[in-house]
Amino acid sequence: MPTVEENKNEKRSKLMDAAHSLFTSGSALKPPTIDEVVKLAGVAKGTFYLYFKDKYELMDQLFLKKLAECVNSALFKTRQHFAGRQTDDAERVNTFLDNVFVYIEENKAFLPLVRDRVSSCYRMMLKGREAELKDAYGSLVKLFLAHGYTEYESEMNIYMLVSMLTSVSCDGAVHGEPYKLDEIKHGMQRLVNKLLANKEERDYDI
């Protein structure tokens, strides 16, 4: 028999899955209403407020979940690719971003929401150090630290890159303009490599 905690997690997951389904399948590309979410999830409206303050908090949590999926998937594939062999940080970063953009291409329907929620979600992530993002976020911070940045500068770099990435990749993936997604990927790779090259380099594997 499921525990109380397992039942709570299941209901929370149902609400988030319902919100994701409604958002990505809708033509208006805007957050669904709470009534729509609870109806699709098959739970009472009062249950919604046990987990989320409002629909915007729900969408923030959903964004963090998708961000964790994206970053962790890219990080796992990058580590697999370079397992057992030495390479420089630039090559690792380029491969990591290759994998990030593969995920973006496969999940482009969700990008308009991501673009609008980056700032509030990033603050939430910094406060709570979301468990699903802890390893990936820590790896990125250490990468910048290894190139001479302070912790504050490293966190600011990540925030700026995530904000830029979600904004410009949305336009490229969804609209194909003003630049195509592949062009944006190469631009981001050049930008990150320049950030790393501008500081003293130490050995660190992402």
Q: What is the DSSP string of 10-21?
A: HHHHHHHHHHHH
Q: Which domain holds residue 48?
A: 1-52
User: For the chain, how many structural domains are there in total?
Assistant: 2
Residues 95 and 1 in one domain: no
Residues 132 and 181 in one domain: yes
pTM of this prediction? Answer: 0.79
Residues 188 and 139 in one domain: yes
pLDDT for the residue 130 = 59
**What are the backbone dihedrals phi and psi of residue 45, each rounded to the nearest 5 degrees, phi first?**
-60, -35
d(CA 12, CA 16): 6
Query: What value does the mean pLDDT of the chain take?
Result: 83
Percent of the chain with pLDDT strictly greater than 90: 31
Residues 91 and 135 in one domain: yes
We report the CATH number of the domain holding residue 85 as 1.10.357
Q: Which of 33, 52, 71 is the last residue of a domain?
A: 52
Residues 87 and 177 in one domain: yes
What is the identity of the amino acid at 42?
G
Residues 48 and 80 in one domain: no
Residues 188 and 117 in one domain: yes
Q: How confident is the model at residue 34 (pLDDT cuts 50, 70, 90)?
A: very high
Torsion of CA 11, 13, 16, 20, to 10 degrees: -130
Instruction: Specify the higher pLDDT residue, 125 or 180.
Output: 180
Half-sphere exposure of 100 (CA within 13 A, CB side): 24
Q: What is the mean pLDDT of residues 134-145?
A: 86
Residues in Cβ contact with 61 at an 8 Å cutoff, skipping those fewer than 6 apart: 16, 52
